[in-house]
Structure 1
Amino acid sequence: MSTRPLPPALTRRGLLGAAAVGAAGALAACGEDETPLPANEIDAEQVPDYYPAEYADILAASKEEGGELEVYSNTDQENWAPILRDFQKKYPWVEKINASNLDSDEVFQRILSEQATNGSPADLVVSNAAQAWAEYAGGEGRLLAHDSPELAHLPEFALLLPNVYAMSVDPQTIAYNTSLMPEAPTGIGHLAELVAADTGLFEDKLTSRDVGGAFGFTVSRTFTDHVPDAWEHLETLLPLARPETSSGTQNEKILAGEYLAGFFISAAPANPVVANSGGLFEIVFPQDGTVLLPRGIGIAHGAPHPNTARLFVDFLLSEEGQRAVAEGGLASYRDSVEQVEGLHTYQEVVDAVGEDAIIFAPYELVDEAEVDEFTARWNGLLEGGS
């Protein structure tokens, strides 16, 4: 398998989640004539030949850990479903996996609170809140050291921070209700043009992500840092927009028609909504700049099942695991994952917008003064300021 390092300024578009599936319940979820995905061939209880011989000790130790795993995450159950299914095929002694779906920042708030009292049941931490990850991972004794044997077979960005790996690389999209939009937007600039042409139509009918949270701050700031006309477009969009704290809420309200469109919405929770909406809900990768936000995963210090957690991380990074990641609606980044309809990959975004339009969101801690300056400017526009 070939791999290639990606330039440090790449961005990707995210996959949308399943929060709006209930509102789309009357719509067809899967047509009978839909071509099924090729099966993910799982080599049970076997690891690649490039794994070190001592990896057998991790396998043996995992079998003695009770067959359980606790994951604190901000990831929808539809995204997790094929991953957990195939991991349990790979390691059938892991019979119980609990993967939560918390807000991006809540993942860290909960585990920090529990670790402070030495009582966390968490084995793994999963979130794409890059700013929160940078702060959390920088604390002493919060993550278990793990050198994955998969790392040498992955692009350079797969290691986001020490002991924090990229589970997926999710693009941030424009989502819209196809029955209400005058035409399909192609980018943030084009969306601003559509809004400027009929501001009355879009009054309080746009949604953006709340930049008060780590997720919203990171994707929004990354876009403005890399797109020269970003603030000019936002001066048109934000005065008519309402912020939300989760992609799931945004997807649900766009599908229901409360919003016509939303921008910087993660594709991860949105892709299942697209699939289940009967064409009513669509997403696009912005041609003028698609932000790619990796979804980080790390093993919690003091994890009750540390060896099973190591197996899980390595599985996620493997060819088998990345295939399951793509099936669940997250964006896989291994070149070997087949490019077929229904599997979401990094190459899918490159094919749509070109590498020059991809902006990779960094996992770095931004100075508090810079955070305050950015959020004040953004929120000032939301409130109708200039």
Structure 2
Amino acid sequence: MKFTPDRPLVMAFAIVPSIVHIIAPTRARRAMYRLLLTLWASVAILAAAMPVKAVAAPTQARLVIEAAMDREVAAPLLAAFTRRYPDVELDYRDRSSMAVNARAQQPDPRVDVILSSAMPWQVALVNQGLAQRLDSDEARQWPQWAKWRDEVFAFTFEPIVMAYRLDLAARMLPPVSHADVLNLLTQHAETLAGRVVAYSPSKSALGYALYLQDSRYSGRFWKLVAALGRVDATLETSTQRMLEGLSDGRYWLGYNLLGSYALQWAQTHPDIIVQMPSDYALISMRTAFIHRDAPHPEQARAFINFLIGREGQHVVAGETPLYSIRDDIVGPFTAQSLRDQVGQRLYPQPLDASSLSMLDTARRNDFLARWFDAYSGGAPTP
């Protein structure tokens, strides 16, 4: 807090007697002048003794983001937003999807934007009334399939990929499709034992959602889960941990990794090859919404508009491997470039109320029980 004395009134009192002196033309008014001078002097002394007024120092605008997106991947977007809004102080908190989900539901989360790749959980939070509606030109123009109720918005179009080490390629034909993965796990089970990694369906929100999607689109899905169990595949909680294990040689093959992270990792780890599935590709879309209790709603609105606006989507397409949704953006990482590569067999998770069924407790428990039964006979799996 900064304090300044209230001096203008004192200055006025000092000036007025001088004016009276100037305009007093006769001796008759000099007595009045002396009386006024005495009164003005007294008031000026009192005014000078008055307590000072408190003036609040201007505070810098802030934006608090709880995000299930690695800071390294998000860095170009955050930097571009800061260039656009240099007066906004960014507080970016990188957490797991489960941690972000839990934070959003706290009584006083003190967060402005919730950002995550766990789409069903995001829809559930919005359904609980924890989001603010965004009324802007950007929101109105955004594709209907990439938003829900103008409250939660998808802003990326990320393929789910496979990744393998060159060690694998030196010993067997690398996989290019989901069917190839099953064949490798079946025909080279002994060689690949302990050298395969995939998501845990029980400890990763994204992992569970991806397996559920796989079960819809692949007739070989349950055979694949059984094959993962036969090679004692390690079940991880994040793509980052999978990639670290691939790079240090613990794993030779990774299944269902986030393409954005894998592609960026491969740029600095030439021993890791990222393969886009040739038969079909699951798509994970990161979503963001303004929290109902956002302490800085104006900055939050600016951030979401930036993410889905032309400027932000241009950064997504050209400076990150997150893949832009907009069809008027040209760059190496766009939804259209994926369609050119894979064709129309791209299956994004639905961003609507139907995804809530994925979180039904009974349905989730049944699916997990069947998954672990196929993987390891129902025994507890880390």
Name the TM-score class by shorter chain. Answer: 0.7 to 0.9
The counterpart of 1:184, out of the listed 174, 177, 181, is 174
Q: Verify: 1:336 aligned to 2:348, yes or no.
A: no
Equivalents in 2 of 1:151, 1:102: separation in Å? 26
Equivalents in 1 of 2:336, 2:277: separation in Å? 15
The counterpart of 2:334, out of the listed 318, 334, 345, is 345
The counterpart of 2:293, out of the listed 272, 293, 302, is 302
Q: 1:124 is matched by which residue type in structure 2?
A: V
Equivalents in 2 of 1:209, 1:320: separation in Å? 33
Q: Pick closer, same or farther for the CA change 1:121–1:65 going to 2, 3 Å.
A: farther
Q: Verify: 1:104 aligned to 2:58, yes or no.
A: no
1:369 paired residue number: 362
Name the SS of the counterpart of 1:382 in structure 2: helix
Relative to the length of structure 1, the TM-score reads 0.76
Equivalents in 2 of 1:223, 1:124: separation in Å? 30
1:59 paired residue number: none
The answer on whether the counterparts of 1:223 and 1:289 sit within 8 Å (CA) in structure 2 is no
- Unaligned ranges ≥5, structure 1: 1-63
The answer on whether the counterparts of 2:139 and 2:150 sit within 8 Å (CA) in structure 1 is no
The answer on whether the counterparts of 1:239 and 1:384 sit within 8 Å (CA) in structure 2 is no
Q: 2:267 is matched by which residue type in structure 1?
A: A
1:218 paired residue number: 209
Q: Pick closer, same or farther for the CA change 1:165–1:184 going to 2, 3 Å.
A: same
Between 295-304 and 376-385, the greater mean CA deviation after superposition:
376-385
How far is the alpha carbon of 1:214 from its aligned partner? 2.0
2:197 paired residue number: 207
The answer on whether the counterparts of 2:227 and 2:375 sit within 8 Å (CA) in structure 1 is no
How far is the alpha carbon of 1:161 from its aligned partner? 5.3
Q: Verify: 1:72 aligned to 2:61, yes or no.
A: no
Equivalents in 1 of 2:378, 2:178: separation in Å? 19
The answer on whether the counterparts of 1:180 and 1:257 sit within 8 Å (CA) in structure 2 is no
Q: Verify: 1:197 aligned to 2:191, yes or no.
A: no
The answer on whether the counterparts of 2:196 and 2:253 sit within 8 Å (CA) in structure 1 is yes
Relative to the length of structure 2, the TM-score reads 0.77
Q: How many residues align?
A: 312
Q: Pick closer, same or farther for the CA change 1:156–1:162 going to 2, 3 Å.
A: closer
How far is the alpha carbon of 1:352 from its aligned partner? 1.9
Q: 2:301 is matched by which residue type in structure 1?
A: R
Q: Pick closer, same or farther for the CA change 1:214–1:65 going to 2, 3 Å.
A: farther
**What root-mean-square deviation, in Å, do the aligned CA atoms of Structure 1 and Structure 2 show?**
2.0
Q: Going by fraction, where is helix more abundant, 1 or 2?
A: 2
User: Between the two proteins, what is the percent identity of the paired residues?
Assistant: 26
Q: Verify: 1:84 aligned to 2:87, yes or no.
A: no
How far is the alpha carbon of 1:65 from its aligned partner? 7.1
Q: Verify: 1:256 aligned to 2:252, yes or no.
A: no
How far is the alpha carbon of 1:130 from its aligned partner? 1.8
After superposing on structure 2, the runs of 4+ consecutive aligned residues of structure 1 that deviate more than 4 Å are: none
How far is the alpha carbon of 1:297 from its aligned partner? 0.1
Give CA-to-partner distance per residue, 1:204-246, whole Å, 9 cap, x none. 2111111113211111101111222322333323432121011
Give CA-to-partner distance per residue, 1:23-57, whole Å, 9 cap, x none. xxxxxxxxxxxxxxxxxxxxxxxxxxxxxxxxxxx
Rg bigger for which structure? 2
Any residues of structure 2 matched to 1:1-386 within 5 Å, and which?
66-94=60-88, 96-113=89-106, 116=107, 118=108, 120-140=109-129, 142-160=130-148, 162-181=150-169, 182-212=172-202, 213-240=204-231, 241-277=233-269, 279-326=270-317, 327-340=319-332, 344-355=333-344, 357-363=345-351, 364-366=355-357, 367-383=360-376
Equivalents in 2 of 1:107, 1:185: separation in Å? 34
